Amino acid sequence: MEKIISSPRGTSDILPEEVLGWQFVEKAARRQFLYYGYREIRTPLFEETELFARSVGQTSDIVQKQMLNLAAQGAGSDADDMKNSLLSLRPEGTASIVRSYIQNNLDKKERLSKWFYIGPMFRGERPQKGRLRQFHQIGVEAIGPDSGSPYLDAEVIGLSVCILRESGVDDFNLKLNTLGTLEDKENFSKYLRSVLSSRLDALCPDCRNRYERNVFRVLDCKNKSCKEVVKDLQLDYSYLSETSRNYYESVKAALDSLGIVYQEDPRLVRGLDYYTHTVFELSCSRLGSQDALGAGGRYNHLVKELGGPDVGAIGFALGMERMLLAKAEDATLKSSPVQVYVVALDEKFFPRAFQLLQFLRKKEISADINFSSSGLKSQMRQANKSGAGFVAMIGEEEFIQGKVTLKNMADGSQEQILLDEAEKIIKIVKEPESPRAREFEKL
Ligand code: AMP
């Protein structure tokens, strides 16, 4: 027996029967992007490793433990030049987008670039339910000189909420916090170090390390004893400057005006280094330990830190796998979108059936046929399985009379239609009340 090769650990196939669910979510998101004025950007799936180290942060788990690097082939390969650069599969979208914003001088072309992306991301994590090594994100970034408005924060947060709802996810929580400016963050981290210094031995070894290098990450730790310590911390917004506090109040007021419900959580800091001011996280308790649906925040210094102009930005990313796990089952179309299943009852009728098939497709009707000349029963079984609303049959009688029998699979009624008047089929199938027409509309 030949060895069967499986997909790499932490990756999964999205089979055709699942793809409709994915398309549903994507389409819902794309519709909202259109309404909100966000345009799609597609960046490479791999970049210089340094880009991620400098943006996501050298001390982040992603850069420390989860980067998937590319190895160039040996000498003489066409990608020989790659040997001198360290390249990694992208673990997230923001870094590439900021790189592209800078590289293409977007600040000179527009005051605010509102971009979205949909695609795979790669992290060498320990796989479990809802945590993969190749997963997919829907994300947005709003970057530019005009990005400094609290109303933009509210728009971006509102957009993430809207995409979840439109995708059929309605059981989720929105947590909100602010980190303030870089200076405020520095004050906050000093404060954290001072209150944690007496509790160091209760922290896990990782967090003792984090205490030195990036103390915020202690607040994110999943370790039980660290969580206990964090729970007891008295956190208020005393580290915030007045301007930062006012900014935060304006974001909240704008969210309130949009009717968006949120919980303030002073412990929410996010694992990535680049955030300033507003941070938010969307979660769904039904998902168990991997309950984060998405997250985002403001990053006012990243563009400059990566060598670009001094412009601010805000964005978020939603995890598609988790959205699909969290979404209400009935919001997904499960069956294939075949409207008409064509059946030739004998091989000799096949050429005519095949012509009818092409005719239907040209008229924008989704149609399929059984390529094996099996009997009526087995073909009807196939038609049923396809979920087709109608079956168009050509048997002996239909062949002689130049007709086709069109069977409505919802109520079993059937009528014979002359092939010369095949337009009639289109009319019947496209009728708004026809069994597949309404579902087809949703696609
Ligand atoms: P992050 O970029 O870490 O803030 O992640 C944003 C969202 O992407 C998370 O809330 C998850 O929904 C999703 N996500 C992140 N990492 C993974 C992963 N390894 N597997 C599946 N989804 C993920």
Tokens of residue 29, six digits: 């998101």
Residue partners of 146: CB distance under 8 A and separation at least 6:
111, 112
* Residue whose C-alpha is closest to residue 311's, from 75, 109, 151, 90: 109
Which residues lie with the beta carbon below 6 Å from any ligand 1 atom? Answer: 92, 123, 125, 130-132, 135, 137, 292-295, 317, 319, 321-322
Rounding to the nearest 10 degrees, give the CA dihedral for residues 105, 106, 107, 113.
Answer: -160
- How far from chain centre, in Å, is Cα 146? 26
- Per-residue pLDDT of the chain (443 residues), as tens digits, is 899 999 999 999 999 888 989 999 999 999 999 999 999 999 999 999 999 999 998 888 899 899 999 987 666 778 888 878 899 999 999 999 999 999 999 999 999 999 999 999 999 999 999 999 999 999 999 999 999 999 999 999 999 999 999 999 999 999 999 999 999 999 999 999 998 998 888 999 989 888 888 898 899 888 899 999 888 888 888 899 999 999 999 999 999 999 999 999 999 987 677 899 999 999 999 898 889 999 999 999 999 999 999 999 999 999 999 999 998 665 455 555 689 999 999 999 999 999 999 999 999 999 999 887 678 888 888 888 888 999 999 999 999 999 999 999 989 999 999 999 999 999 999 886 665 555 555 55
What is the per-residue pLDDT across 396-438, written as a single tens digit (0 to 9) for each?
A: 999 999 999 999 998 999 999 999 999 999 999 988 666 555 5
Query: Which residue's CA is minimally distant from atom 2 of ligand 1?
Result: 92
Ligand 1 center to 92 CA (angstroms): 9
Per-residue pLDDT tens digits for 281-322: 999 998 988 899 999 999 999 999 999 999 999 999 999 999
Of all protein residues, whose CA lies closest to atom 6 belonging to ligand 1?
A: 294
Please tell me the distance from the alpha carbon of residue 195 to that of residue 215, in angstroms, as a whole number: 11
Q: How far apart are CA 243 and CA 276, in angstroms?
A: 13
Whether the CB-CB separation of 85 and 42 falls below 8 Å is answered with no
Ligand 1 centre distance from Cα of residue 261 (Å): 22
Substitution site in 131, 281, 286, 299 for ligand 1 pocket (most atoms within 8 Å of beta carbon)? 131
Residue with CA nearest ligand 1 atom 17:
131
Q: How many CB atoms lie within 10 A of CB 82?
A: 15
- Determine the pLDDT at residue 79: 81
Euclidean distance between CA atoms 189 and 219, whole angstroms: 11
Centre of ligand 1 from the C-alpha of residue 64, in Å: 16
Shortest-distance Cα residue to atom 21 of ligand 1:
131
Atom number of ligand 1 nearest to Cα 127: 19
- Residue of 61, 63, 65, 322 to test ligand 1 pocket, by largest number of atoms within 8 Å of CB: 322
Q: Which atom of ligand 1 is nearest to the CA of 294?
A: 10
The number of C-alpha atoms within 13 Å of 48 and in the hemisphere containing its C-beta is 9
**What element of type H or E holds 132?**
none
**pTM score over 0.75:** yes
